[in-house]
Structure 1
Amino acid sequence: MSATVDANVLLYASDSSSPFYDRASEVVQELAQGPDLLYLFWPVLMSYLRISTHPAIFGNPLPVAKAMSNLDGLVRRAHVRTPGESAGFWSLYRTVTTGVTARGNLVPDAHVVALMRQNGVSSVWTHDRDLRRFVEIRVRDPFDRAP
């Protein structure tokens, strides 16, 4: 079964001072090595670059070259896919946002959910509770140790 990860998991996996670092790194590495496909959507990768290199947002900002190198190491893996929007995306986005008022910070979440649906991805690993508003996906919190 294919999955994706949200930017927050990638960010925790890049910040060795975070209490979530070990678990986030473990999840990203396990997903990226397969055998199932890991989908990394461009809005998530761009959010990672924006936040990980921004000193006012990220506690330990990465040099741009390091942040890009981190992503290079993921996107080059055999079991990783990086699709973008394809025909019919807008219609699917509208469907995904039916019943969910996608404004502000929910807009990029809805974008990712629409990309997930368009690519047949059912699970997202994230620490973001907002994604639970979208009932058509499975949200997996890597830091929730409950069975």
Structure 2
Amino acid sequence: MILPDVNMLVYAYDSSSVHHGAAAGWWKRCMTGNDEVGLATVVLFGFVRICTNPRIFQSPLTVEEASARVESWLARPQVRIIDPSNQHVADVLALLRETGTAGNLTTDAQIAALARQEKAVIHSNDTDFLRFPGIRWHNPLTGKEQRT
């Protein structure tokens, strides 16, 4: 299962990003391929939060446009929402303790815990995921893949 990070979804949307072409191609393959794609709610709402923010984008998406994109992804047969287990909070806190950090890595720890729960591969341009043990990580922009 592919578990995308929000940065890849933002790059796929943001035509001004240097990563747009590669990310848009990767996301199109995810949306038309046969591999299962798991979408975490923290990632979906992160996409909406970032892509509708006029302080980040000169021409941000409207809430309706961002919602329509999310809904179109969820309508694909190979896509499903990844729900946290009852153990999720404990798993995330354990990851934060193991790495000795929180702050900006808290969201990454949530995604990492979901990836471990689902045995999914995180697709991200963010190498911070490599701090978390038991994670499989793939950077679709470089082709680099690693297991921690």
What is the TM-score when the length of structure 1 is the normalising length? 0.88
Partner of 1:131: 129
Partner of 2:54: 55
Report the number of matched residues: 145
Task: Calculate percent identity across the aligned residue pairs.
Answer: 31
Partner of 2:110: 111
Of Structure 1 and Structure 2, which has the larger fraction of its residues in helix?
2
What is the TM-score when the length of structure 2 is the normalising length? 0.88
> Bigger relative contact order, structure 1 or 2, given CA contacts below 8 A and separation 6+?
1
Distance 2:51 2:80 in 1: 21
Q: What displacement does 1:6 show?
A: 0.6
For the structure 1 residues 6 and 91, does the alpha-carbon distance in structure 2 shift closer, same or farther, using more than 3 Å as the test?
same
RMSD: 1.8
Of Structure 1 and Structure 2, which has the larger fraction of its residues in strand?
2
Q: Mind listing any 5+ residue stretches in structure 1 that lack a counterpart?
A: none
Q: Match of 1:96, as an amino acid?
A: L
Q: Match of 1:130, as an amino acid?
A: D
1:92-123 CA-partner distances (Å, limit 9, x unpaired): 223433421241110000011111112221x1
Q: Mind listing any 5+ residue stretches in structure 2 that lack a counterpart?
A: none
Q: 8 Å contact 2:138–2:144 — kept in the other structure?
A: no
For the structure 1 residues 136 and 112, does the alpha-carbon distance in structure 2 shift closer, same or farther, using more than 3 Å as the test?
same
